[in-house]
């Protein structure tokens, strides 16, 4: 991208010098005249591009950290490019550039380009007879940006193939380690059948005894045909056949930051947890009906069995039993603590008076424990202790000092996090009663925080460009003519984003590409308007000036457009790590500048005819005043 920006200014200067040489000027005369004509446009272009890139570097959060080097690199490249284009390029042209010697290839290219130039001049001239049609078309294109933006898929960043897929198993609240191991054995068998498997990481009981975690590591990209997303989709289908546990399959986020599930939607309230549970369960049921989530759960679940030991203190006192004595007996039987060591064959071992495993599987086994009374009689624990069963929440969480329930999960492969969150927002409007609010955590919070930062930067860049061009053109109208090309090029890129070509979506990379388009496409309008104004000063009529300026600048505009498009071709053809993000920013720039250039060649001249200053009228008014 930086290479494309560096050569653009040089292309414009060399082409202009060569155009003067074709008219019969010497290389030195053409170099001086060509550079002098383009000094002001190139300075304007440089200021515009720097005004676009620098604000990106000063964004807060992840966007600023991620694109700081990108912004300063491009701003520096543009600055150096302008200096070279106005100094070294004319110097080299005066020494090295010669009128071309006719050849079959050169003659063929010249003939083809002359046909394009004549055809363009004819179409542009004819379009001036239908200026309202051109302006209405431009208005429709500009307005369509809103619809394209609102209906496009959104996410923080495209899901990249990182060569790692996560699996998480959560069993029933009363599931023990043995049950989880049985589920894990079934999952291991299914994962072993995946041909892309290289390594499997397995951790059982890391987040409570009823959970397990896997890391599925496929073979290298070059050795497999399926992407991590396809592997994830396949695993989810196969593992859904296992009953008894909730199994989620998802990939780690592409960008550094928050961890956990991609979707973390928080419902919060000042009401009781019992009320919150009813609302969250209804919300969860509604969300699952959409069918866009591979896995979805809430961390507020009032479904865990709790066994309480109630001691009959009066009966214990009659039997001479103390609370301390009863507690010591229970601790010895179930706490896994040791009371002494014994030596065996030179080794020391702990003496653990714990009940055998078979006696700890059922709460009723507590009744088999016996106590000594004050009279040294043996009585069963059930004489003074009774069991009471109740249902309690697995956990009670708070967020922003409010009672909260987090809806966590992962969208189906191919469904962006933006669509998932927008769906949950819509459900919240339908389901949540008064007194409830929503918030976000994890990657979802990161998406919400970063989602609007570049939109603000986009409009801020437009304001800076307008003010800069107003100063350079000494006009409030000429910058508007130049900037009309911006929404036209954005529309060209948004069409591909809206269609989801190659999995493209509105994300942090495509939005940076859209901001970059502001500077790239503005240079076309600057060149046309500046040359048209110069021709008017030389005595041309307004319509004749804009027609001649558009025809003269057609060749450098097409050359710089081709150079930029070819410059991002490596991004479009990228493979391996990070290919998804590079493809998306390359697609936005290539499509935006290509389609935007076509629109610019017709809409900018039309806008000039409507808004451009008519120098002949100014001269006439000045003459009349004198």
HSE (side-chain half, CA atoms, 13 Å) at 218? 26
149 pLDDT above the threshold of 80: yes
343 pLDDT above the threshold of 60: yes
Give me the torsion for CA of 601, 604, 609, 614, rounded to 10°: -110
> Which pLDDT score is estimated for 101?
59
> Which pLDDT score is estimated for 14?
86
pLDDT band at 267 (very low <50, low <70, confident <90, very high): very high
Task: State the DSSP string of 552-591.
Answer: HTHHHHHHHHHHHHHHTHHHHT--STTHHHHHHHHHHHHH
Q: Phi and psi of 78, rounded to 5°?
A: -65, -40
Give the dihedral sign, CA 143/144/150/153.
negative
Dist CA 588 CA 592 (whole Å): 6
Q: Which of 135-144, 312-321, 446-455, 497-506 has the highest mean pLDDT?
A: 135-144
> Which pLDDT score is estimated for 3?
64
Task: State the DSSP string of 462-489.
Answer: HHHHHHHHHHHHT-SSHHHHHHTHHHHH
How many DSSP H helices and E strands does the chain contain? 22, 15
SS3 598: helix
Dist CA 366 CA 386 (whole Å): 9
pLDDT band at 268 (very low <50, low <70, confident <90, very high): very high
Better-predicted residue by pLDDT, 224 or 429: 429
Kind of pairing between the strands at 211-218 and 370-372: unpaired
342 pLDDT above the threshold of 50: yes
Dist CA 476 CA 471 (whole Å): 9
Residue 324 in tokens: 């301390």
294 pLDDT above the threshold of 50: yes
Overall average pLDDT of the 562-589 stretch: 82
For residue 138, give the nearest of 539, 394, 488, 456 by alpha carbon. 488
pLDDT band at 620 (very low <50, low <70, confident <90, very high): low
Q: Which of 2-11, 123-132, 258-267 has the lowest mean pLDDT?
A: 2-11
For tokens 């502001």, name the residue.
Answer: 518
Q: Tell me the pLDDT tens digit for each residue of 380-420.
A: 888 888 888 888 887 788 888 899 999 988 888 778 888 88
Dist CA 427 CA 409 (whole Å): 16
For residue 488, give the nearest of 456, 451, 532, 520 by alpha carbon. 520
> Which pLDDT score is estimated for 76?
85
Dist CA 481 CA 75 (whole Å): 24
505 pLDDT above the threshold of 60: yes
HSE (side-chain half, CA atoms, 13 Å) at 101? 0
Percentage of the chain with pLDDT > 70?
Answer: 94
Q: Which of 428-432, 465-469, 513-517 has the highest mean pLDDT?
A: 428-432
Q: Phi and psi of 99, rounded to 5°?
A: -60, 135
User: In sequence order, which residues have a C-beta less than 8 Å from that of residue 417 and are 6 or more positions away?
Assistant: 154, 155, 156, 262, 263, 411, 443, 444, 447
pLDDT band at 266 (very low <50, low <70, confident <90, very high): very high
In this structure, the chain runs to a length of 626
For residue 515, give the nearest of 604, 600, 598, 592 by alpha carbon. 592
> Which pLDDT score is estimated for 625?
52
624 pLDDT above the threshold of 50: no
Better-predicted residue by pLDDT, 327 or 367: 327
> Which pLDDT score is estimated for 259?
65
> Which pLDDT score is estimated for 623?
45
Q: How far is CA 311 from the centre of its chain?
A: 58
pLDDT band at 427 (very low <50, low <70, confident <90, very high): very high
- Whether the CB-CB separation of 355 and 334 falls below 8 Å is answered with yes
HSE (side-chain half, CA atoms, 13 Å) at 392? 11
> Which pLDDT score is estimated for 119?
92
Q: Tell me the pLDDT tens digit for each residue of 295-329.
A: 788 888 887 778 888 888 888 888 888 888 888 88
85 pLDDT above the threshold of 80: yes
Dist CA 612 CA 60 (whole Å): 39
Angle between helix 417-431 and 273-289 (nearest 10): 130
What DSSP character marks residue 362? S
Q: Tell me the pLDDT tens digit for each residue of 446-483.
A: 788 776 666 777 787 788 888 888 887 888 888 888 88
Alpha helices in 257-382 (DSSP H): 273-289, 313-319, 323-334
Overall average pLDDT of the 77-86 stretch: 87
Dist CA 526 CA 48 (whole Å): 10
pLDDT band at 336 (very low <50, low <70, confident <90, very high): confident
Mean pLDDT score of the chain: 83
SS3 527: helix
For residue 333, give the nearest of 313, 349, 357 by alpha carbon. 357
Distances 144 to 75, 268, 498, 522, 595 between C-alpha atoms, Å: 31, 37, 11, 20, 15
619 pLDDT above the threshold of 70: no
List the end-to-end C-alpha distance of the chain, in Å, as a whole number.
53
Q: Phi and psi of 570, rounded to 5°?
A: -55, -30
């Amino acid at each position: 991208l930086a290479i494309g920006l560096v050569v653009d200014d040089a292309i414009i200067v060399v082409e202009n010098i060569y155009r003067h040489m074709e008219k019969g000027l010497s290389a030195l005369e053409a170099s001086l005249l060509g550079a002098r004509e383009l000094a002001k446009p190139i300075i304007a272009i440089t200021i515009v591009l720097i005004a676009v890139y620098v604000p990106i570097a000063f964004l807060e959060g992840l966007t600023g950290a991620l694109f700081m080097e990108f912004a300063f690199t491009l701003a520096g490249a543009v600055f150096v490019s302008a200096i070279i284009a106005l100094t070294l390029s004319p110097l080299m042209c005066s020494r090295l550039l010669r009128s071309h010697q006719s050849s079959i290839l050169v003659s063929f290219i010249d003939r083809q380009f002359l046909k394009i130039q004549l055809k363009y001049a004819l179409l542009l001239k004819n379009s001036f007879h239908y200026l309202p049609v051109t302006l209405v078309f431009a208005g429709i294109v500009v307005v369509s940006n809103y619809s394209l933006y609102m209906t496009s898929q959104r996410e923080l960043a495209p899901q990249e193939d990182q060569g790692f897929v996560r699996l998480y198993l959560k069993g029933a609240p009363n599931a023990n380690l043995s049950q989880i191991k049985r589920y894990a054995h079934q999952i291991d068998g299914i994962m072993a059948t995946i041909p892309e498997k290289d390594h499997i990481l397995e951790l059982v009981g890391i987040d409570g005894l009823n959970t397990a975690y896997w890391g599925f590591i496929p073979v290298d990209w070059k050795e497999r045909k399926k992407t991590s997303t396809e592997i994830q989709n396949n695993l989810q289908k196969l593992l859904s056949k296992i009953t008894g546990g909730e199994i989620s399959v998802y990939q780690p986020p592409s960008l550094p930051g928050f961890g956990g599930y991609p979707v973390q939607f928080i419902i919060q309230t000042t009401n009781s947890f019992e009320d919150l549970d009813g609302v969250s369960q209804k919300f969860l049921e509604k969300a699952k009906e959409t069918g866009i989530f591979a896995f979805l759960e809430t961390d507020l679940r009032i479904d865990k069995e709790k066994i309480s030991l109630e001691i009959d203190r009066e009966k214990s006192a009659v039997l001479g039993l103390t609370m301390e004595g009863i507690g010591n007996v229970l601790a010895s039987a179930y706490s896994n603590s040791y009371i002494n060591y014994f030596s065996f064959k030179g080794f020391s071992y702990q003496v653990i008076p714990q009940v055998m495993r078979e006696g700890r599987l059922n709460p009723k086994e507590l009744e088999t424990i016996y106590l000594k009374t004050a009279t040294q009689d043996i009585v069963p624990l059930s004489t003074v202790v009774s069991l009471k069963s109740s249902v309690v929440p697995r956990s009670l969480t708070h967020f922003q000092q409010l009672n909260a329930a987090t809806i966590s999960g992962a969208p189906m492969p191919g469904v962006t996090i933006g669509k998932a969150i927008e769906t949950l927002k819509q459900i919240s409007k339908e389901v949540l009663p008064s007194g409830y609010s929503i918030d976000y955590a994890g990657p979802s919070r990161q998406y919400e925080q970063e989602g609007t930062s570049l939109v603000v930067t986009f409009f801020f860049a437009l304001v800076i460009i307008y003010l800069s061009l107003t100063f350079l053109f000494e006009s409030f109208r000429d910058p508007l003519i130049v900037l009309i090309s911006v929404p036209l090029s954005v529309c060209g890129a948004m069409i591909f984003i809206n269609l989801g070509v190659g999995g493209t979506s509105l994300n942090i990379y495509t939005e940076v590409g859209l901001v970059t388009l502001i500077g790239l496409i503005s240079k076309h309008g600057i060149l046309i308007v500046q040359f048209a104004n110069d021709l008017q000063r030389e005595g041309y009529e307004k319509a004749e000036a804009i027609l001649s300026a558009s025809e003269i600048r057609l060749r450098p505009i097409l050359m710089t457009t081709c150079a930029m498009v070819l410059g991002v071709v490596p991004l479009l053809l990228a493979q391996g790590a990070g290919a998804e993000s590079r493809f998306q920013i390359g697609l936005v720039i290539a499509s935006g500048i290509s389609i935007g250039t076509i629109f610019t060649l017709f809409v900018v001249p039309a806008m000039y005819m409507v808004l451009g200053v008519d120098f002949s009228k100014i001269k006439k008014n000045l003459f009349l005043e004198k």
